[in-house]
Structure 1
């Protein structure tokens, strides 16, 4: 069995999970999570690993993280949210990323989150006003 340092940082100084999300190292991420690593570890702009994957249109990794319990309502300091990123992504449907995006959109729709997304500037405004998350 492999061991992992759940406090390890990547070369950029962020939690290692972000480095592995970027490189699609799912086996390493699974070992990290199995060892008690944080699936919500904040990275650049406070983005969770799920948001990092979604910002990069890496929908297979995003879906994989969702299936392992990543929080769908995360928001980063730039105002990015998963519903916004999923609704505005232009990944072609016929690609692997596009097929995973469609699954993410279905999951968000089932939870009533897909049609209720906000532009990042509106999210930041609502956070500043204390009106986030929306009710």
Structure 2
């Protein structure tokens, strides 16, 4: 079953983008500017949270706190059975997190874009017709 309409959810944020809340991360300034304007339309999943927490944990306590602060504001979407089915149908060779991110974005009726700094995720999202949002990088950088 597809998720019900949620007019606020337009951009699925993967772990690579979520980790840009860490001030020391590359492109964090561009991400912060984008988030200030678009955060109300963003959603994350448990996979996004896991990836960002691993990155933040490697950087230190302040980084972990920056990610946790963002998570208080960002709604989390559940990885539904539909998301898992979509992930399984993606081309072979994608990593499991890439497939889960793109499957989750596809399964949510209102998500139209994926925010990512990961080239395989950007390519997979683009291939299924989702827009790719990567503040600080040129359009089509993943090609």
Higher-Rg member (1/2): 1
Q: Which has the higher contact order (CA 8 A, sep 6+)?
A: 2
- Alignment TM-score > 0.5, same fold: no
Normalized per residue, the structure richer in helix is: 2
